[in-house]
Each structure stands twice: as structure tokens, then as C-alpha cells.
Amino acid sequence: MIACEQIEKRFPGPGGGVTALSDVTLTVDRGEFVVVKGPSGCGKSTLLLAMGGMQRPSAGRVTLDGVDLYAQSANERNRVRAERIGFVFQLFHLLPFLTVRENVLAGLPPGSRIGDHVAHANELIEQLGLGERASHRPGTLSAGERQRVALARALVKHPALILADEPTGNLDPANAAEVFRHLATFQRAGGTVVVVTHGDDAARYATRTVCLSRGRLVPASSDSANPPRSPSTSSLAAS
């Protein structure tokens, strides 16, 4: 599915700059839920951005289904990212002047016929428990609700891969568990998930957990127990 091959990322600066990633090799197969765990500043977000085609490595390759993302033109890479990769961020990145429904539809690739996707967007909104909020703007929502909007926005285009950067960092335990359950439902239906986090909560939903330490990736655990199923989200990825 997606593979990092000996990637490095160096940022220029005084004293030779900073090496954020060093010799990172990671392959994520289709249908996996991989958690990358590590403390703040260890390079987790840099790794996720590189995997998503948004941060060119200084060395090494990132391939999606065998195609080198950074050997493509910027336009082609943007197209692949828009069509195949969904992103969920800690700070939500919702547009404050749009409603919940409009924010979800904003996740569609450029050029999409919005009218063709409204029914699917509404279905996701209902499944994520936001039906009564569909016409509300983000400023009226709780943190947990805003993150569920962000998740629906990532899912609306039927991505093959979801990359999530500390998606529960601003949430209480109950809302964090709900977000992870939705991500696990997507994975069980055949999607692929990579979550970077500094906490332990995601591990119970993962098929594999690895650790990032000082920019280097090391194994942490594998083949964790299957994540708990949530009847309320059982059809999420199939929508």
C-alpha cells in the first residue's frame, strides 16, 4: 500500500540544522491500522506529512502502490492526495464560515460534482452522530463533534488511506475512543489507517504499533488484539 524506504528529513539551520527523520523504513499494507507512537518532537508529524505527499524527504522514497510520490509532478501528487488520501489533524482545520455539511463536502477532490455526493455526506453525518448539527457551523460544536466532522470530511471521497496526526489530542477519553472506533471501522472494511500519537489509547485498535525515537523508527509491538466492534459504526466505511 504505502512504503517509506530509508527516508531522511533534514531542516536547515544554525549548527548544521536539524535531522527530523533518519533512515526510516516502514511498509503499511492494505487493510492495516498502524500506530506510530513517540514523544513530542520525535518526528511523527514530519513522517506523516512525508507519507501524505506534503513533505518531500531529503533522501529516500515514499511509494503508494509502488509509485514514487516524489518522482511525480506536484500536480500529479496533489491529484493522488486529493483522490486517495484522507487526512485528520489534531486541530480539525474546519472552515468556520461553512456548515457541518459544507465542511464535509469540502473534502471532495477538486472538480467533483457536489450534488452527486450530498447523499453520501448526509449518510456519514448521520453515522457519526451529527445529524442534528448538519446545518451548524464549527463554532457551535464541541471538540469531539468538530473532530467527527473532520473525520467525515476525510471519508467522503472514499479514500484508500487515512493519515491521522494526533487526532484525539484535544479530546476527552470518551470522544477519543469514539474517533478511534470510527477509524477502526474504516480499517475493518478494507481501508488503511496510519495514526501518529504520543499516547497509548490508539494501541488497542491497531494491528501493529511502532515507535519513533529521535527520528528513528523501532518496533514496539505487533498483532495486537482485534479492535472492539461498534454496532453504531459498522457500515461507516462501506458507505
Domain ranges of the chain: 2-233
Position 229 scores a pLDDT of 39
Reported as a single tens digit per residue, the pLDDT across 58-108 is: 999 999 999 999 999 999 999 999 999 999 988 889 999 999 999 999 999
Q: What one-character-per-residue DSSP string does 35-102 give?
A: EEE--TTSSHHHHHHHHTTSS--SEEEEEETTEEGGGS-HHHHHHHHHHHEEEEETT----TTS-HHH
**Please, what CATH class does the domain formed by 2-233 belong to?**
alpha beta
Q: What is the pTM of this model?
A: 0.86
